[in-house]
Chains A and B, each alone.
Chain A
Amino acid sequence: MIASAIGCTVQGLAGVPVTVEAHIANGLPHFAIVGLTDRAIQEARERVRSAVQNGGFEWPQRRITVNLAPAEVPKEGSGFDLAIAVAVLRAGESGIDSSGTAFVAELALDSSLRPVNGVLPMARCLAALGMRRLVVASQNAAEAALVDGLCVLPATRLQDVVEHLRGLLPIQPARPGAGADAGPAGPDLAEVCGQASAKRALEIAAAGGHNLLLTGPPGSGKTMMARALPSLLPDLEPDAALEVSAIYSLRGLLRERPAMSLRPAFRAPHHSVSRSGLVGGGVGIAQPGEISLAHRGVLFLDELCEFPRSHLEALRQPLEHHAVTIVRSRAAVTFPAEFVLVAAANPCPCGHLGDAKGCNCDLRQLQAYDARVSGPIRDRIDLQVSVPRQRFGDLFGGSEGEASAVVRGRVESARQMRSGRLADPAAGTARTPSALSRSYRTAPAARRLLARSGERLRLSARGFVRVLRVARTIADLAGDDGVGEAAIAEALHYRGEMAA
């Protein structure tokens, strides 16, 4: 008497199908679960037995061994409960047909089904492997139904699942989740008065995916500017949106948010966030952190210098590779983390540099502060711009600025230009300043300006590359084929590196 059912677990953002085998042998009553399990799965023995009995089924009073295969994959959490129950019931009773069906849900003691995290990436994996049906708790149905080619069966009780498998009372498949949600949650750029420089920098950041540092006195509107950035980013491709939703699914955040949003995410973790909360990690199987929740969107770090230095150091790898790898004793997992970083900081320790109130800090303090603000990630910040406090006159009398939608139009065409260029194989491999400069079609006058800036502004090699990349984005926004002197000069002005 041996039977099986298909469950699923996740490693990073990838689903891993798990075959749950149940063997009922003669012997004194015994129930063992083997196969690289964690505590939650060992506790499943008690949950599953109670749920089966409270569902009105007989628990086999014999020697039951459940094996989760493949044995080398570490497994965690309560999502195997339903698959274990189905496998055990099938081993004890014929007439339950679970072929082509996978099961992912936690069981309550009263036999009802509970939602679990990570159902969306599991559903993607199961569909890719040719599973036709997936039974989940009804709260997980909307996210699972986002996956094409998979019939999602939402259930509330174990009895319903068994009745369905016996062919007695079929469960109605869940309909695919509602389409894309309404407009962006952040403010529209037109609502922001003044701040011409910062708006321009946001536009460049959106077009080229450049990281941005906003400096300005408290209350000058740095947060509002950052919140407006997502409204300048184009909609996500459906594939990308699904990938982002999968990350939210892992954290169990899809139940309170539209299952599938085409709008780029905006995440603003507070500086008291833990390191694993920021970059990912946590106890047991690693969870994605804020930087992955900001994948293909915006990560906003307000009060940058209040973040512990170690947190900022941990951002360096993801900022370079657009992904983060978390190493665990049992496995290393990788989560995508391709985001635009917007950092905000006061201009000086007292916060009033350049303000009407006047600043009391001397230059040495300013330099020390400046080093603290962006030290660890200085060479990852492409754009630095000031957000001055607005005068009352500007707040009321200021002319209406451009709406986000207008700017987004320019951003979209600039991105098209860039992806057209990246299709050229030579462009993708250019790394050195001179190779980049050639592939960017930098005009001779612009190259001369860049050379002069090397002496005067003491630009590092990295600095050169950043200036060139920003200048290329500026030219893309203008629809220019080549990079002109003005684009280089403007990029130089925004460089995040000060002359010593």
Chain B
Amino acid sequence: MSGGPRQVSPGSPEWPERLSHLDHPPQELWVRGPVLPGARSVAVVGSRRATPAGLSIARELGGLLGEAGVNVISGLARGVDGAAHLGALDAGGPTTAVLGCGIDVCYPRQHAPLSERIAGSGCILTEEPPGTQPFKANFPKRNRIIAALVAAVVVVEGTERSGALSTARWAADLGREVLAVPGSIRSPQSRGTNLLIRDGARPYLGPEDLVQAVPGLAATGAGPAGGPSLAGLRRPLLEILERMGPTPVYPDELGQALALPAPLVAARLGELEVAGAVLSLPGGLVARTF
């Protein structure tokens, strides 16, 4: 397993080079886990209260990066952070959680199993001394470390007051690439990312945008094109899919829009679910996954 936490100081061979880009780099780091992030690292951050589509995107992106061997860095929070870590772990890739509390403090508590998995293959790190509680003020400090460690930050979802936006600002100040997943202008969870795009962030529409922004990421040639594929879907299924966005809708709305009887809509949605193109959500709503 991970063993106990250890201290890493500037000057140690393990010390991440990029941290020196900060005006006030951490004095030292408490670390749990074998692998500290190297140059090929990307942060995937976003809202705690993400939408199902946002979680799905975060997990998928974590997986794609994990498959390509890119270290996925995030903040171990609920929502997007957790989903990104999980995607990377499931793909067998390294992932790094940067905490806003002491290395021995588990926050949020329901991510205890997740943090064990991360400490098993990647690492958990923090600049806070052991025993520090997750004070609100620690999180902006934590965000500057995430921003410093990576080549690029992808913000998946967030309101305009989301902490993910502070990570994006730190990243922009440090000259890192900032990407944001665009969303509906009606969705509060996409308000923050849409604002970032207006302010000059690159829209993230797919992994190719990331490779374009940071060519070094594709170094090992794992040009990720995985995920569910539209190829092979029959025309009637595409017709339904075209009517759907990441915002969940009721099947009845689709039926009305396409003038299709309910049994047919249900059958096509069932097939699309099996194909992985549509997600069935609590409350009987459906959403497109990509």
Are B253 and A196 in contact, with the CB atoms below 8 A?
no
Which of B52, B265, B268, B271: most chain A Cβ within 10 A?
B271
Interface residues of A in 447-484 (CB under 8 A from B): 449, 452-453, 456-457, 474
- Please give, as numbers and ranges, the residues of chain B lying within 8 Å of A440 by CB-CB distance: none
Are A386 and B273 in contact, with the CB atoms below 8 A?
no
B3 beta carbon closer than 8 Å to chain A: no
- For A474, give its contact among B248, B263, B268 (CB under 8 Å): B263
B92 beta carbon closer than 8 Å to chain A: no
Nearest B residue to A200 via CB reads B262
- Please give, as numbers and ranges, the residues of chain A lying within 8 Å of B267 by CB-CB distance: 486-487, 489-490, 493
- With A196-B261, A197-B250, A197-B266 known as contacts, the answer to whether A347 contacts B284 (CB < 8 A) is yes
Nearest A residue to B251 via CB reads A197
- Please give, as numbers and ranges, the residues of chain B lying within 8 Å of A353 by CB-CB distance: 248, 282-283, 285
Are A491 and B270 in contact, with the CB atoms below 8 A?
yes
Q: How large is the interface on B (under 10, 10 to 19, 20 to 34, 35 or more residues)?
A: 35 or more
CB distance from B157 to the nearest CB of A (A): 11
A231 beta carbon closer than 8 Å to chain B: no
At the interface, is chain B mostly helix, strand, loop or mixed? helix
- For B282, give its contact among A348, A486, A487 (CB under 8 Å): A348
- Please give, as numbers and ranges, the residues of chain B lying within 8 Å of A182 by CB-CB distance: none
Of the listed stretches A36-44, A241-249, A314-322, A359-367, chain B binds A359-367
- Please give, as numbers and ranges, the residues of chain B lying within 8 Å of A358 by CB-CB distance: 188
- With A354-B249, A362-B49, A449-B271 known as contacts, the answer to whether A493 contacts B283 (CB < 8 A) is no
Are B282 and A494 in contact, with the CB atoms below 8 A?
no
B280 beta carbon closer than 8 Å to chain A: yes
B225 beta carbon closer than 8 Å to chain A: no
CA–CA, A366 and B280, complex, Å:
13
- For A453, give its contact among B52, B269, B274 (CB under 8 Å): B274
A98 beta carbon closer than 8 Å to chain B: no
Are A384 and B284 in contact, with the CB atoms below 8 A?
yes
CB distance from A466 to the nearest CB of B (A): 13
Are A197 and B255 in contact, with the CB atoms below 8 A?
yes
CB distance from A109 to the nearest CB of B (A): 60
Return the 5 tightest CB-CB contacts between A and B, nearest first. Answer: A386-B284, A347-B283, A489-B270, A493-B270, A492-B270
Q: A196-B265, A215-B283, A493-B267 are in contact. List 18 more A-B contacts (CB 8 A).
A: A194-B256, A197-B284, A215-B284, A347-B284, A353-B248, A354-B248, A354-B283, A358-B188, A362-B49, A364-B78, A386-B251, A388-B252, A452-B274, A487-B267, A489-B271, A490-B266, A492-B271, A493-B280
